[in-house]
Amino acid sequence: MSDHPTIFVTGGTGHLGYALLPALLQAGYRVRALTRQPERHPWLAKLGEGVQIIQGDVTNADLICEAVQGCRYVVHAAAKFAFWGKRDQFERTNVAGAANVMRAAQIAQVQKYVHVSTVVVVGKPLAERLVDETHPTNPLDPYQRSKLHAETLALQAYREHGLPAVVLRPGAFYGPGGRYAFNRLFIEDALKGIRIQVDGGNYITFPTYVGDVAQGILGALHKGRVGEVYNLCGETLTHREANQIVSTEAGISPFRLNVPGWSMILLARLWTALSEYTRIEPYYPLNLRSYVFNNWRVSSEKARRELGFAPISFREGVRHTLEWYEEQGIGRRKKRT
């Protein structure tokens, strides 16, 4: 892009931001990235002068309004994501914070506002039904409810105030730059020797490589239709298939201890109850149920057709993730020949 438009990005130092900021720079954007603690992310310095760091968070409405001025685009990717926590914690960041960013985008009259939501606003996929953008939403935990509330506000702002909003719903993030959720459950735990699977590994999961989400955001900026929702997900596969691929690529044993689902739910109930006293997030929180004990047959056909979304294979994504883990000193990949 010859004029190097400026884009304001929230969540720039999160798991997605680790892939998104370099992708935006490579595409020719100048980036203003919002982060609460830039000193905790030394990799930002490697991105060069194309990134301007704004220290703060989305709950500071005045700061956000000032930061968005002069920007042509906004990508709102900041969110509190956890499987455990109180409702007001999620609402403060994911709803009130998102509303601040939307308001600032309207005042600045940006050309496109890309809102990063999540496919888990569905809550519990209906049996044998493909999870496309028309699937009913019935969020089951505070995080899911807050994300649905925020994307509803974005679409309402489009209808009532002309905010040029595009909503993206990625699947379960994995890839370099993060050690939570899918990365931990399917990759890091296996590298550390915690190798279990539930009910024979037959449930269907919905991994989405963070680099693919970054490319999906670029597609939304260029081609996304305002007022529309797009799923962004890689190939869906069973837990057993995912475990086999991770084991092969990491050069570790394919063995997984099979545990019945009821026993994991019981453990999660006890652990979650204990956390009310310790105030430490349980290793297996009860809210993991809707993510793990369901069949997530997610369709990204709309994004493929309209945004040019073309996710890499899960095997390739796992290779990139394992390389990053090895750089962090966690696990060693087998040498490929």
We report the CATH number of the domain holding residue 143 as 3.40.50.720
Q: Would you say residue 163 lies in a domain?
A: yes
Give the orientation angle of helix 239-250 with respect to helix 314-327, to 10 degrees.
Answer: 50
What tokens were used for 131? 């999870």
Q: What is the largest CA-CA distance in the chain?
A: 58
- Cite the beta strand spans of 80-177 per DSSP E: 112-116, 165-170, 172-174
Q: Find, among 164, 161, 140, 165, the residue nearest to 151 by Cα.
A: 165
C-alpha distance from residue 258 to each of 181, 201, 262, 288, 289 (Å): 20, 8, 12, 17, 17
Measured between alpha carbons, how far is 114 from 117 in angstroms, rounded to an integer?
9
Q: What φ, ψ does residue 89 adopt, rounded to 5°?
A: -65, -40
* Residue partners of 133: CB distance under 8 A and separation at least 6: 169, 228, 229, 230, 231, 302
Instruction: Measure the CA dihedral 117/118/120/126, to 10°.
Output: 90
Predicted TM-score (pTM) of the model is 0.93
| 332 assigned to some structural domain | no
Phi, psi of 181 (to 5 degrees): 55, -125
Q: Is 81 exposed, middle or buried (0-12, 13-18, 19+ CB in 10 A)?
A: buried
The pLDDT score that the predictor gives to residue 226 is 97
Domain assignment of residue 329, yes or no: no
DSSP character at residue 6 = E
Neighbouring C-beta atoms of residue 224, cutoff 10 Å: 24
Give the C-alpha separation, 256 to 265, whole Å.
18
**Number of domains observed in the structure of the chain:** 1
Asked, for residue 201, whether it belongs to a domain, the answer is no
Confirm whether 129 is domain-assigned.
yes
* Residue 61 forms part of a structural domain: yes
Element (H, E) at 31: strand 30-35
Residues 6 or more apart whose CB falls under 8 angstroms from that of 250 comprise 187, 190, 191, 318, 322, 331, 333, 334
Per-residue pLDDT 10s for the chain (337 aa) are 447 899 999 998 889 999 999 999 999 999 999 998 888 888 888 888 889 999 999 999 999 999 999 999 999 999 998 888 889 999 999 999 999 999 999 999 999 999 999 999 999 999 889 999 999 999 999 999 999 999 999 999 999 999 999 999 999 999 999 989 999 999 999 999 999 999 999 999 999 999 999 999 999 999 999 999 999 999 999 999 999 999 999 999 999 999 998 898 998 889 899 888 888 888 888 888 889 999 999 999 999 999 999 999 999 999 999 999 999 888 665 555 4
Q: Determine the 3-state secondary structure of 43 from DSSP.
A: helix
Catalytic residue among 143, 174, 230, 325: 143
First to last CA, the chain: 40
Task: Provide the residue range defining the domain that includes 114.
Answer: 6-177+207-234+297-309
Query: Residue 77 has which token pair?
Result: 């990717």
Number of other residues whose CB lies within 10 A of the CB of residue 181: 17
Instruction: Identify whether 142 is part of a domain.
Output: yes
Among 101, 74, 66, CA closest to 226 = 74
Closest to 291 in 3D by CA, of 167, 203, 196, 197: 203
- The closest alpha carbon to 54, from 41, 64, 69, belongs to 64
Which one-letter DSSP state was computed for residue 30? Answer: E
72 in a structural domain:
yes
Does 143 participate in catalysis according to the annotation? yes
